[in-house]
Amino acid sequence: MSTEQKEKPAYGMKDYKAADPRWCTGCGDYTILVGMRKFFSNAQLPPHKLVNISGIGCSGRMPHYLETYGLHGVHGRAVPLAMGVALTRPDLKVFIHSGDGDSISIGGNHLLHGIHKNFNCVYLMYDNQIYGLTKNQSSPTTRQGLPTMSQPAGTYIEPINPVKFALGLGATFIATTAEWMNKHLVDTLEKAYAHQGFSFIHIAQRCPKFNPAAWDFQNNEWITFMEHENGIAADPRISKGAKIIQHDPSNKNGAFEAAEEVPNIFGLFYQEKKETYCNLVQKNTKNTAQKDPNKILDAFQL
Amino acid sequence: MSTEQKEKPAYGMKDYKAADPRWCTGCGDYTILVGMRKFFSNAQLPPHKLVNISGIGCSGRMPHYLETYGLHGVHGRAVPLAMGVALTRPDLKVFIHSGDGDSISIGGNHLLHGIHKNFNCVYLMYDNQIYGLTKNQSSPTTRQGLPTMSQPAGTYIEPINPVKFALGLGATFIATTAEWMNKHLVDTLEKAYAHQGFSFIHIAQRCPKFNPAAWDFQNNEWITFMEHENGIAADPRISKGAKIIQHDPSNKNGAFEAAEEVPNIFGLFYQEKKETYCNLVQKNTKNTAQKDPNKILDAFQL
Amino acid sequence: MTKKNMTRLELLMDAGNGAQKAGDILIKGFAKKGHYVFIEPLIPAEISPPKRTPHSLSGAVIRVGEDELTNIGSYTDFVLVEHEILLKKRLSDKEFSKDCIIFIDMAESKRFSDDFEEVIAEAEAEGYKVIRFNMHEDALATIKALNGNGKNMYYLGMMTKLFEMQPEEIETVIRATFRKLSEDKLNQNIGIFKLGYDGFAEVYQENISIPERKIEGDKVLLDGNTAMALGIIDAGIKLFSGYPITPASTIMHNLAKLFPQYGGMIHQAEDEISAIGTAIGSYFVGVPSVTATSGPGLSLKQEFIGLATGTEVPCIIIDVQRAGPSTGLPTRTEQSDLYSAIYGAHGDNATVVLSVSNVEDCFYAPHVARYLTEKLRVPVFILSDYLTSVSYRILDKMPLALLQDKDVTEIPEYILKRFDLKPLPENIEMVKDNQSKPGEEGGTRRVTGLNTDEAGQVIYTSESDHRAHQVRNNKVYAVEDAMLEPEKFGDESGELLIVSWGSCRGVLQESITKAKDAGYSVGGLNLKIVYPIPTKHLKNIFSKYKKVVTIEVGYGHERKPAQLAGLLRMQTLVDVESAISNATGRPIKPIQVLEMIESKCQGVPA
Amino acid sequence: MTKKNMTRLELLMDAGNGAQKAGDILIKGFAKKGHYVFIEPLIPAEISPPKRTPHSLSGAVIRVGEDELTNIGSYTDFVLVEHEILLKKRLSDKEFSKDCIIFIDMAESKRFSDDFEEVIAEAEAEGYKVIRFNMHEDALATIKALNGNGKNMYYLGMMTKLFEMQPEEIETVIRATFRKLSEDKLNQNIGIFKLGYDGFAEVYQENISIPERKIEGDKVLLDGNTAMALGIIDAGIKLFSGYPITPASTIMHNLAKLFPQYGGMIHQAEDEISAIGTAIGSYFVGVPSVTATSGPGLSLKQEFIGLATGTEVPCIIIDVQRAGPSTGLPTRTEQSDLYSAIYGAHGDNATVVLSVSNVEDCFYAPHVARYLTEKLRVPVFILSDYLTSVSYRILDKMPLALLQDKDVTEIPEYILKRFDLKPLPENIEMVKDNQSKPGEEGGTRRVTGLNTDEAGQVIYTSESDHRAHQVRNNKVYAVEDAMLEPEKFGDESGELLIVSWGSCRGVLQESITKAKDAGYSVGGLNLKIVYPIPTKHLKNIFSKYKKVVTIEVGYGHERKPAQLAGLLRMQTLVDVESAISNATGRPIKPIQVLEMIESKCQGVPA
Ligand SMILES: Cc1ncc(C[n+]2csc(CCOP(=O)(O)OP(=O)(O)O)c2C)c(N)n1
Ligand SMILES: Cc1ncc(C[n+]2csc(CCOP(=O)(O)OP(=O)(O)O)c2C)c(N)n1
Ligand code: SF4
Ligand code: SF4
Ligand SMILES: [Mg+2]
Ligand SMILES: [Mg+2]
């Protein structure tokens, strides 16, 4: 093999492309799909070693469009499926794709325990602040006052703050990004992938169909980027006009304070080294003296 | 009626006593039962206006022992049942009784949304840091390292911090107490009852059967009380040897910092006024112009 | 001009292009002429999938006729389709009549001429007549100006001409429908519509005319889920507690708008488990409530359904069935949640299951469900299905029951009768003697999913366990005892009896009439209450026919009877065969039933 | 000295006083003499309810005999009870033989003499002989010193004498059991034991002797759930994923200790939904896994069960049935989750349901489940029940299959045969052609609960939907085709055939033998696989008897057949009656079956 050939990446972005997506025109999910493929190709991850797992929703279709192994599960319960993979096949790399409703409405308990168990995976919460696939109902992140099909007089209550939620549970990696911040998104994926544990990424996602006014694309003044030498750099294309602050991702109390600005603040909130649950369980088996399976009944003999 | 008779409370503690409890000797649930009856009687709450709702567990039996209306539901799902009561009958007073497993393992999603919806009720989380009724498995609050029937080599991971969890979700009332702090418990119940919204009380509870070493009763040095003019006073019987600090319950970031000491710190972490979800839903109906039910089909007429 | 007393047409467009809107307007036009319509929307499982893909198929199938229509019929006579990919997809459903006429818009054929011709050839090979057309240039220009919108108005114009309707009348409906558009845009749309109307004469010279009728009495245009929402209000229910899921969601959407106007509330829960829990909590404190879902949600509710049985708290569960198993085909129809409703919860459960056969049933089922669940204090299901939930029909305006704030025993008898039921006995024994409502002084009591005695005390003895089972099941037997003979069609005895439930009733009714006309000795029977079944009546009726079969939209096989067939076999021991058991997600066609009759009666009319 | 070749005794104490420990020691003593035992613990639904309440009843029912025992039998001949309240509670179960002897400890009669006498009178009125006894003073003193512990050792001593066992042998077992106690405490306990042994002569002068036998071959003492845990390991499963629930939990407890020693892992999930999700995730990536639960957990798992069917990911669900509905009676037995397993998930699901009749079945069921689920890629259930899960038996040591790291097709045929099955055909068609495992290069694929075609692409056409249903159901038909004639007892034809499943097999077997001895013309049939059922075989067998009935521990009625009876009726159209359908939470007694036989055969032996 010539050196030129060697330099050509073994896996191009095209190698991760599967079926044609069926999302609406202008849907932010397309951008995330591209970001995923870009990241996979940057990191040269062998497709057969990747498992993309999802719940139900527009976002839940992601695995179908990635030429890797994929498991499109039931609504809100991608985390338990992913846990099964992480526990038994640590050689595989797990990515979870889940909408705001899927993550925090029906799926809240699994997300909670996924974060707490801190198993190794990258979790992408696609937050379009609405139920897309079921056509426009309020989700736990819908902004107060927005009229939807289920709360036509305006969504009753303030949204849940996903970052504070994750912080309260002791998450070991929490970052926020937006699908239209292409570089920031890929950088965030890279950082999350490098983290050993449950890497929670909150992604602001456009739903032009049902929630077109969720974000303002005319200016970036409402945007704050958090930067730090251990964090994620502001997106070069978006940072014009945006505020940039410094935040040390090892400072948990500071993260809690900064999280007050979610969903208008982007970057790495928190990162901490902590052994994963799966490692501990696997170790427990590895460190136990193995017995002869031929003698399994002997202890019960009379 | 003579004045002497008038002074005798209409509802004595005995009036709230129903069937004989079936807990183990020395179980902390007995003390909570007494505390509930004491509080009811202090506040002179009419038994027929009270609804005690529970999940499954030793703690879940509480409603059977209180001569009020009671609904002993399924495991982990007392909150949805309670929501039904709060939404449709705001004249009734709702108390939820739930173990640590019931609350945060299987019931995590409902608790999450109960807190977020901030409906009006008093939520008692009975934390014996173990599964009692199913005989000694690890719960999400079991201390790391404790051997149990499900994790005999020692519970794998650090417990969830219920206070941080509630704070992360924007709870409007969060307090911790212990069942053996009789006065503190009753004071906490009173304060929680007075709060309009979801009042989350974390109660340290003895399980002599399966987790006898969870708390040290030889001394109080490990105990910190948080006090404040808007808070709850330290328990007079327990405060000897205990540390007492000041914490302003309107300070959310401070609460997050103080919560690092859970489960060794007791008092009111946080309180905030916020309209309840149920109020908003009820108001929406009340404020809508009522139509004539005789004409319900007219809009669909050709 | 061809006279027809019944026909079926369909409009097929890419999602988001307004096919269903055009269909809605069209049927209002039909209604003005006194025609009856039955309309089934075709909805993609994704929101707005990329255009020019098979997934993007969105449309309206419209059956129109002189007489009342009970179902969508067998075959389409006229198709108007936006491009070849949609046509190809729909061809695969095999629902076009043998002399079907297909109008295909050639706008995109410049770029995809081979594809167009291939599909057209395929259609022609099936014997259909394909007529190519091009929209008027001015229309194209306006559509471009409207960012691609308005094509549906052109098609609407074509249909208006085809069916000889007054363009002015349709224009009025268009104006009413788009009243929120600016005057400018509205006029542009109407301009396109007119061009479509005017241009049609060049495309096709025949016109179809359906005999007009004077409209007698008040008519309403309703789909199943809207009727269900209205029925919930009229039944005096006060709380809807649900979680979005296709196709149940529109019940919630309707109520979200309407319920507050009639003193009710809707609660969107975090999931289906919570939704039913809240409904139970509400009924425990005496406030009538309902939850609604579809397949996956039903699976999640099973534990709480068992709790309702055990605690004797009333509970109404609406399940709008869709094609399963698992996530399945969310926008296709099926009738295969029957067993999940009856048998899904662990242990020996006691429940009643109603089914709905048409829009009127959707309206009255909540009344009956409320009556049964409050009398018996067992969970009561209403099984609807995708087809019933989304299909519109023109029908007589229903009389109201106005059960708001009334005791449920005041339910009018005609409503019970509609579900083949007479009133239940006044006293029904409960496991627990005390059934007071929270708030009632002196009535304090506790309920639990644990076994109890009559005093409501938790107890684990053999006798109390046995008694509780017996008392619960007696409630269901009381329903069986109150069941009238189910509705029947055709011959009272003979060669063949065909049994249906839910949305198949209309197809059955029409097929029996046709088979009778053709001289077959055949009867039909439709069940509204599908659990319990009226075993005594059925045994008696079944004995009068040589053969009994069911038609069901759900998997069946000689080795595994479809669900109703299985139940009938279990209870009556009659060899009930599931003769038609579509696991295709599409409604059964009258023609399928007729062919089946032919084969079962050995092709020989009696 | 009375010779008996079989008898039943029971020890009834307040919870926490060690009745079950004493029982365990006693049966080890019996085992040393070559006796067979069957022991059923009585466990309260609460942990340690206050003493001297009916809820506190904790105990061991021990059937002991010369020959192998398959069930707990009908009646108890000897009762040793701590106080009158427990006796009263147990009297209500009506399980004492007519000349039952009851030894009652009078220690508490000083404070409750009226209560004692009342209950004793009640027992005597039933014809039982009640013998009052008082513990030796020295024993009482030691017990006091031990904080109330040790009473069970006294009772153990009494039983040792009653059954003529060598106290030295029992002492050895006590020492082994309490090896963690201090030498001091151990000696105190043994002191109490000896006082009980010595004192018994004053209480009762008869002794019972069961013919001794030389023990041949290796014997093991196992309960159902321990056997299931061991079977999981031997079947080569690598992950157990569960959530605690009585009575399934002990499978998890056993595995928590054992699995790591054999390369496996256990995962305690946050709830039952998550538990099965993780099991499915594991199997998706090719690692055999299992989840276990009881009733309420089964209700929660339904949605994921449907996903396993739809995605074609293998999945094994163990359900240890307890008395329902809802929370029910968690420490009583029942067989009424059968329909929930077969029909619980919405839509048309495809599953296989195994049942276990004894400890050996518990051991081998995981092997068969793994075989079926990996071959067919449909969910496979193992239905056990409370009785089977907690009952101990002495049995021949089972041969191992050692399927660790083996392909599941290497399963020994004797194991399949045990479940009346022969190997499945080599090729089973799947909905999706590509079934590669993650990690396999070039095999990347996606699975989903949505409908797909053979390429695994999401598709909503009629044909693909129909095909997918057919392919899934064909898998189940393949099992039916591979089913051998089920196990039969007694006459091959005659008056009456009795059908059982699960834990009733032992009772059936014993009853048929007795009925044959009494001259009745009766046969028995037990099903190990309860879904699908071998319809062809059954039709053939059923035709040879005048009447077919089932015996089931679950509610049944002439208007609502018990669950297996209903299934048999549906599939065979034979009028199968659920002749015994206990909804009492207690096992069926052989005597009940004999009485039923008598009544069905009109009391006249053939
Ligand atoms: C158990 C269950 N309940 C409900 C649904 C219907 N459903 C599908 S997607 C969805 C929510 C979609 O919202 P979100 O998770 O935010 O994803 P998005 O479509 O916005 O990407 C719902 C309620 C389902 N498929 N399964
Ligand atoms: C759906 C369901 N899963 C599991 C159980 C079994 N179960 C009963 S109580 C309990 C947990 C008890 O722990 P906790 O909630 O901490 O209450 P405690 O007994 O300690 O008061 C479990 C797992 C059940 N009853 N229902
Ligand atoms: S509905 Fe919204 S989230 Fe779904 S595909 Fe369309 S734009 Fe995207
Ligand atoms: S097991 Fe523990 S929590 Fe349960 S009753 Fe006994 S002491 Fe109390
Ligand atoms: Mg969303
Ligand atoms: Mg606990």
Q: What is the pLDDT of residues D464-519, one digit of tens each?
A: 999 999 999 999 999 999 999 999 999 999 999 999 999 999 999 999 999 999 99
pLDDT tens digits, residue range B8-32? Answer: 669 999 999 999 999 999 999 999 9
d(C-alpha C389, C-alpha C40), whole Å = 10
Q: Indicate the SS3 state at residue C466.
A: helix
pLDDT, mean of residues C371-378 = 98
pLDDT, mean of residues C207-233 = 93
One-letter amino acid of D493: S
Q: Would the CB atoms of D444 and A91 count as touching at under 8 Å? A: no
Contact D365, C486 (CB under 8 A): no
How is residue B14 annotated by DSSP? G
Residues with CB under 5 A from ligand 6 (ion): B 99-100, 128, 132
Beta strands in D337-408 (DSSP E): 352-355, 379-385, 392-396
Phi-psi domain of C164 (left: phi exceeds 0; alpha: psi -120 through 50; beta: other): left
Task: Round to the nearest angstrom and report the end-to-end CA distance of chain C.
Answer: 37
Q: Both tokens of residue C600?
A: 């079962």
Contact D41, D57 (CB under 8 A): no
- Percent of chain C at pLDDT > 70 equals 99
Tell me which residue has its CA closest to atom 5 in ligand 4.
B23
Task: Round to the nearest angstrom and report the end-to-end CA distance of chain A.
Answer: 67
Q: Would the CB atoms of C326 and D449 count as touching at under 8 Å? A: yes
Q: For residue A3, what pLDDT is reported?
A: 45
pLDDT tens digits, residue range C411-442? Answer: 999 999 999 999 999 999 999 999 999 999 99
| Chain C CA closest to residue D586 | C462
Query: Which residues in chain A are contacts of C259 at CB distance < 8 A?
Result: none
One-letter amino acid of C102: I
Contact A74, D304 (CB under 8 A): yes
d(C-alpha D272, C-alpha D280), whole Å = 12
How is residue C497 annotated by DSSP? E
Give the CA count within 13 Å in the CB-facing half-sphere of C293: 28
Q: Which of C129, C94, C143, C41 is nearest to C389 (CA)?
A: C41
Tell which one of A20, A22, A27 to mutate to probe ligand 3, the residue whose CB is within 8 A of the most ligand atoms. Answer: A27
Which residue pairs, CB below 8 angstroms and at least 24 apart, start in D405-413?
A: D405/D236, D406/D236, D408/D236, D408/D288, D408/D370, D408/D371, D408/D374, D408/D375, D409/D371, D409/D375, D411/D367, D411/D368, D411/D370, D411/D371
Q: What share of chain A is helix, strand, coil (3-state, %, to 5)?
A: 35, 20, 45
Q: Would the CB atoms of D260 and A285 count as touching at under 8 Å? A: yes
Q: Which atom of ligand 4 is nearest to the CA of D46?
A: 5
Q: Indicate the SS3 state at residue C9.
A: strand
pLDDT, mean of residues C466-470 = 98
Q: Both tokens of residue A69?
A: 């192994």
Q: Would the CB atoms of C398 and B297 count as touching at under 8 Å? A: yes
Tell which one of A20, A22, A24, A102 to mutate to probe ligand 3, the residue whose CB is within 8 A of the most ligand atoms. Answer: A24
Instruction: Name the minimum distance, in Å, from the CA of B164 to any CA of chain A.
Output: 4
Beta strands in D249-307 (DSSP E): 265-268, 289-293
pLDDT, mean of residues D336-340 = 98
- Percent of chain C at pLDDT > 90 equals 95
Which residues, 6 or more positions from C87, have their beta carbon under 8 angstroms from its beta carbon?
C12, C79, C81, C102, C104, C119, C123
Label residue B278 exposed, middle or buried (CB < 10 Å: 0-12, 13-18, 19+).
buried
Q: For residue C215, what pLDDT is reported?
A: 79
Contact A87, D286 (CB under 8 A): no
Instruction: Considering only CA atoms, give the Rg of chain D.
Output: 26
Query: Which residues in chain C are contacts of D309 at CB distance < 8 A?
Result: 325-326
Query: Which residues in chain B are contacts of C28 at CB distance < 8 A?
Result: 302
Residue B5 above 60 pLDDT?
A: no
Q: Both tokens of residue A200?
A: 């929670």
Q: For residue A2, what pLDDT is reported?
A: 44
d(C-alpha A132, C-alpha D606), whole Å = 72
d(C-alpha C226, C-alpha B178), whole Å = 52
d(C-alpha D450, C-alpha B101), whole Å = 34
Residue C281 above 70 pLDDT?
A: yes
d(C-alpha D140, C-alpha D301), whole Å = 51
Q: 10-residue block means of pLDDT along chain A (302 residues)?
A: 56 96 97 98 98 98 98 98 98 98 98 98 98 98 98 98 98 98 98 98 98 92 97 94 97 97 98 98 97 96 88
β-partners of residue A124 are A97, A201
Which residues, 6 or more positions from D219, have their beta carbon under 8 angstroms from its beta carbon?
A301, A302, D31, D394, D395, D396, D397
Find the B103 Cα to ligand 2 centroid distance in Å: 10
| Chain D CA closest to residue A61 | D448
Q: Which of C226, C267, C438 sits opposite B87 (nearest CB)?
A: C267
Beta strands in B15-59 (DSSP E): 50-54
d(C-alpha C309, C-alpha B49), whole Å = 24
Q: Which of B69, B84, B87 sits opposite C280 (nearest CB)?
A: B84
The pLDDT confidence band at residue D603, using thresholds 50, 70 and 90, is low
Q: Which of D136, D338, D361 is nearest to D230 (CA)?
A: D361
Which residues, 6 or more positions from A161, have their beta carbon under 8 angstroms from its beta carbon?
A259, A260, A262, B168, B170
Q: Indicate the SS3 state at residue D197.
A: helix
Contact C563, C338 (CB under 8 A): yes
Mean pLDDT of chain C: 96
Pocket lining for ligand 2, CB < 6 angstroms: B 56-59, 75, 99-102, 126, 128, 130-134, 139; D 243-245, 272, 296-297, 300
pLDDT, mean of residues C354-368 = 98
Q: Which atom of ligand 2 is nearest to the CA of B56?
A: 9
Q: Which of A24, A105, A138 sits opposite C47 (nearest CB)?
A: A24
Query: Which residues in chain D are contacts of C451 at CB distance < 8 A?
Result: 323, 328-329
Residue D189 above 60 pLDDT?
A: yes
Q: For residue C213, what pLDDT is reported?
A: 84
Is omega for the bond preceding C247 within 30 degrees of 0, making it cis? yes
Instruction: Name the minimum distance, in Å, from the CA of A95 to any CA of chain B.
Output: 22
Q: Which of B24, B75, B137 sits opposite D47 (nearest CB)?
A: B24
Q: Would the CB atoms of D442 and A285 count as touching at under 8 Å? A: no
Contact D12, D59 (CB under 8 A): yes
d(C-alpha B88, C-alpha C240), whole Å = 11
Residues with CB under 5 A from ligand 5 (ion): A 99-100, 128, 132
Q: Would the CB atoms of D50 and B76 count as touching at under 8 Å? A: no
- Interface membership of B98 toward D (CB under 8 Å): no
CA D564 to chain centre: 17
Query: Which residues in chain B are contacts of C404 at CB distance < 8 A?
Result: 293
Answer whether A95 contacts ligand 1 (Cβ < 6 A).
no
Quickly list DSSP for A144-202: TT---SSSTT---SPPP-HHHHHHHTT-SEEEEEETT-HHHHHHHHHHHHHSSSEEEEE
Answer whether A126 contacts ligand 1 (Cβ < 6 A).
yes
Tell me which residue has its CA closest to atom 6 in ligand 4.
B24
Give the CA count within 13 Å in the CB-facing half-sphere of D82: 26
The pLDDT confidence band at residue D602, using thresholds 50, 70 and 90, is confident
Q: Which atom of ligand 3 is nearest to the CA of A99?
A: 3
Q: Indicate the SS3 state at residue D578.
A: strand
Answer whether C244 contacts ligand 1 (Cβ < 6 A).
yes
Q: For residue B23, what pLDDT is reported?
A: 97
The pLDDT confidence band at residue D606, using thresholds 50, 70 and 90, is low
Residue B2 above 80 pLDDT?
A: no
The pLDDT confidence band at residue C2, using thresholds 50, 70 and 90, is confident
Q: For residue B1, what pLDDT is reported?
A: 39
Query: Which residues in chain A are contacts of C264 at CB distance < 8 A?
Result: none
Tell which one of B207, B211, B215 to mutate to probe ligand 4, the residue whose CB is within 8 A of the most ligand atoms. Answer: B207
Label residue A164 exposed, middle or buried (CB < 10 Å: 0-12, 13-18, 19+).
buried
Q: List the 152-171 stretch of A: residues with Cβ below 8 A of C.
A: 152-153
Contact C133, C79 (CB under 8 A): no
Tell me which residue has its CA closest to atom 1 in ligand 4.
B132
Dihedral sign computed on CA atoms, order D576, D580, D581, D587? negative
The pLDDT confidence band at residue C214, using thresholds 50, 70 and 90, is confident
Query: Which residues in chain C are contacts of B49 at CB distance < 8 A?
Result: 438-439
In three-state form (DSSP H/G/I as H, E/B as E, the rest C), the secondary structure along C165-216 is CCHHHHHHHHHHHCCCCCHHHHHHHHHHHHHHHHHHHHHCCCCEECCCCCCC
Label residue D375 exposed, middle or buried (CB < 10 Å: 0-12, 13-18, 19+).
buried
Query: Which residues in chain A are contacts of C271 at CB distance < 8 A?
Result: 76, 105-106
Chains linked to D by 3 or more Cβ pairs within 8 Å? A, B, C
Is omega for the bond preceding D247 within 30 degrees of 0, making it cis? yes
Tell me which residue has its CA closest to atom 9 in ligand 1.
A57
Count of beta carbons in the 10 Å neighbourhood of residue D25: 24
Instruction: Name the minimum distance, in Å, from the CA of B279 to any CA of chain D.
Output: 32
The pLDDT confidence band at residue D604, using thresholds 50, 70 and 90, is low
Count of beta carbons in the 10 Å neighbourhood of residue D482: 18
Q: Would the CB atoms of B133 and D46 count as touching at under 8 Å? A: yes
| ipTM of this complex prediction, to 2 decimal places | 0.97
Q: Which atom of ligand 2 is nearest to the CA of B139?
A: 16
Measured N-to-C along each axis, helices C151-162 and C19-32 cross at an angle, to the nearest 10 degrees, of: 30
Q: Which of C234, C282, C307 sits opposite B296 (nearest CB)?
A: C234
Q: Would the CB atoms of C560 and D473 count as touching at under 8 Å? A: yes
Count of beta carbons in the 10 Å neighbourhood of residue B237: 12
Q: For residue C32, what pLDDT is reported?
A: 87
Count of beta carbons in the 10 Å neighbourhood of residue D81: 27
